Chains A and B, each alone.
Chain A
Amino acid sequence: MKLIHCPKVGTRPASEFVYGGLWRPMPDPDSTTDMEWSHYVFHRDGAPGVQREWWCHAPTGMWFVAERDTMKDEFLRTMTVAEAMKDLAHG
């Protein structure tokens, strides 16, 4: 069975986890144009590669961030939201 590691809950079967979409910074809605906003809302890179995603451990409701290779379906790293935010702040 495929396992996923949640930084708070530990390693659990994949069936307990829910995918929550891409993790990406939101532009400031007050200072973006309509075009930039529509790109943020709808457009995605979409190409295969390593991406950061929201994942949720459903039984505990714990959200965290995972780095996953979308070509191989491999989890490379998981981190708490706080850790991911820190990465974002450091660019």
Chain B
Amino acid sequence: MPLRLLKNAFSDAPDPRFFNTPRGLRDSYDVVIIGGGGHGLACAYYLARDHGITNVAVLEQGYIGGGNTGRNTTIVRSNYLTPEGVKFYDESVRLFQDLAEDFDLNIFYSERGHFTLAHTDAAMRTMRWRAEVNKHFGIDSEVVDRDTIAEAVPMMDLDCGGEHPVLGALYHAPGAVVRHDAVAWGYGRGADKRGVEIHQKTRVTGIRVVQGKVTGVETDRGVIKTGKVISMVAGSTPRVTKMAGITTPIVIHPLQACVTEPMKPWLDTIIVSGSLHVYVSQSSRGELVMGAALDPAILHSTRSTLDFVEGLADQMLDLFPFLGNSKVMRQWAGMADMTPDFAPIMGRTAVDGFYIDAGWGTWGFKATPVSGKTMAWTVANDKDHALIEPFSLARFDRFELVGERGAASVGH
């Protein structure tokens, strides 16, 4: 990296662009991926790298990583509650740790440690439960007391103004933050190098299904023949599944987040409170990146509201009263695919050749590498990968829900 910097300093030629812009759509592809976010690009990357399938088009209606990949709060962790969830997210954290080397790109992976605060006895019980499940699967996760939290985060008011004192926390040392754009670009560049075509500003308008089998995709730039389509769109899943003629339990709720003005470093861990519905970390630029719970009602819009900032600030000040004078710089919203059990929906569907990677609600970014990898395997072998079997769409027909709400319900 430093050598490249030096070389460019003495050269007039600009650095090569990250991606080629393919001229037009071809008549047919082996696989079409709808959605050029982290998941879609990761899937394209692993299809090309691990399975040798390079005749692939990624269709993105906007620009790469412009959806929820660029709207999340960049937290990566694996301290979930169910064995299915823990195994899946643990694999994702492991993949994340090697990504920078895979890509030859700095993704600013920064291990911070992750505290999930408990303010009630009931929450402490869930923390102990999560810690035991986590440890059983070899994940670094433990319940800690107030003193440990006070030592790690001296600025926190552990009594929260006396209203809901912190009793303890679940501490997950591998909890990390990652630069989310770099993850999307890294996967995109890796896929592009191996021959995958990434078509931005290409909107899918229909999916052709003949006798229960996918035959093609209609876009605003023409029709493509293909036998395999993967829907990897966060927040637009119901629109895409409607095109394929299937229904899912997914409904869309907005999830909002915001950042403060930059300040001196004072918070080097990630703090989450399920009871207060807040989570916060400090970025390398010094901004506090903060988020809260979902908006309560279904909405297909990325508008943000004053209600959200007011509610969030109220709770944040209980934890960190000294932030009273800091200013909020930006706020935004993403559309989250919500499922009844707070677990994703992945794998094959009733339509032959139509695969789904959806229901990523508020926990999609941390699953980017493992989703791409397992979905690529699933599409290449036309068989659900073992890690995603519990997340199939058919689980709802069998009443076999995954029950991840206790560990996933605060959006982070």
Residues of A within 8 A of B (CB): 15, 18-19, 34-35, 38-39, 41-48, 51, 53, 68, 70-73
Identify the stretch in B123-131, B246-254, B364-372 within 8 Å (CB) of chain A at 4 or more residues. Answer: B246-254
Name the residue of chain A whose CB is nearest to the CB of B305: A2
Instruction: Apart from A44-B251, A48-B239, list 20 A-B contacts with CB within 8 A.
Output: A15-B307, A19-B296, A34-B397, A34-B399, A38-B397, A38-B398, A43-B247, A43-B248, A44-B247, A44-B248, A44-B250, A45-B247, A46-B237, A46-B248, A46-B251, A46-B252, A47-B239, A70-B252, A70-B299, A70-B300
Number of interface residues of B (CB under 8 A): 24
Known A45-B238, A47-B242: A38·B399 in contact at CB below 8 Å: yes
B103 within 8 A of A: no
Name the residue of chain A whose CB is nearest to the CB of B247: A43
Q: Is the CB of A19 within 8 A of B297?
A: yes
Residues of B within 8 A of A (CB): 237-239, 241-242, 247-252, 296-301, 303, 307, 340, 396-399
CA gap between A71 and B238 in the complex, in Å: 13
B229 to chain A minimum Cβ distance, whole angstroms, is 18
Given A44, A53, A71, which contacts B249 in the complex, CB threshold below 8 Å? A44
CA gap between A31 and B251 in the complex, in Å: 27
Known A35-B397, A45-B238: A73·B299 in contact at CB below 8 Å: yes
Inter-chain contact total with CB atoms closer than 8 Å? 62
**A residues less than 8 Å from B298 (CB atoms):** 19, 51, 53, 70
Name the residue of chain A whose CB is nearest to the CB of B238: A46
**A residues less than 8 Å from B239 (CB atoms):** 47-48
Q: Is the CB of B303 within 8 A of A18?
A: no
A34 to chain B minimum Cβ distance, whole angstroms, is 8
Name the residue of chain A whose CB is nearest to the CB of B335: A48
Question: Among the interface residues A45, A48, A53, A72, which one has the most CB atoms of the partner chain B within 10 A?
Answer: A48
Question: Among the interface residues A19, A47, A53, which one has the most CB atoms of the partner chain B within 10 A?
Answer: A47
CA gap between A41 and B251 in the complex, in Å: 13
Q: Is the CB of A43 within 8 A of B238?
A: no
Question: Among the interface residues A35, A53, A70, which one has the most CB atoms of the partner chain B within 10 A?
Answer: A70
CA gap between A53 and B296 in the complex, in Å: 13
Known A15-B307, A47-B239, A47-B242: A42·B301 in contact at CB below 8 Å: no
Known A38-B397, A38-B399: A46·B301 in contact at CB below 8 Å: no
CA gap between A47 and B239 in the complex, in Å: 5
Q: Is the CB of A71 within 8 A of B251?
A: no
**B residues less than 8 Å from A15 (CB atoms):** 307
CA gap between A78 and B73 in the complex, in Å: 37
Known A70-B299, A73-B301: A42·B249 in contact at CB below 8 Å: yes
Given A19, A39, A72, which contacts B247 in the complex, CB threshold below 8 Å? A39
